[in-house]
Amino acid sequence: MVVESKLAPIRKGLLEFLVLKIVGSRSVYVPDILRRLAGTEFATQEGTLYPLLSKLRRENLVLYEWQESDVGPPRKYYRLTEAGQAQLTALDEYWSRINRTIADMGH
């Protein structure tokens, strides 16, 4: 519990990175993202996700298109833009570098 709360701000900050990763794997809609994160350390809710996706869209990292659904009204499907793809690659590399730094520290 103590450990979890110490890293809480980092987890919060990493959510954006994880959402980019999920959106980068294939075109998804919000319940897909929620399901992918559920049960992990990064489980989240629509109240958090929609404002985050809007921010990513404003930063031109993701875009969405409407797709008809068999049940109910059309849904927003999100995917990465080229800029989003580039940022995801950069984030991935940076994250690996951080992990190596942490692993090497104290040896």
Chain positions contacting another protein, by CB under 8 A: 9, 12, 16, 30, 44-48, 50-52, 54-55, 57-58, 72-74, 76
CA 62, 65, 67: angle at the middle one, nearest 5?
140
Rounded to whole angstroms, the Cα distance separating 91 from 70 reads 36
Rounded to whole angstroms, the Cα distance separating 14 from 23 reads 14
Nearest-approach distance from CB 22 to another protein, in angstroms = 16
Whichever of 16 and 32 has its CB closer to another protein, that residue is: 16
Tokens 């994250």 -> residue? 95
Three-class SS state of 6: helix
Nearest-approach distance from CB 26 to another protein, in angstroms = 20
Whichever of 74 and 96 has its CB closer to another protein, that residue is: 74
Nearest-approach distance from CB 27 to another protein, in angstroms = 17
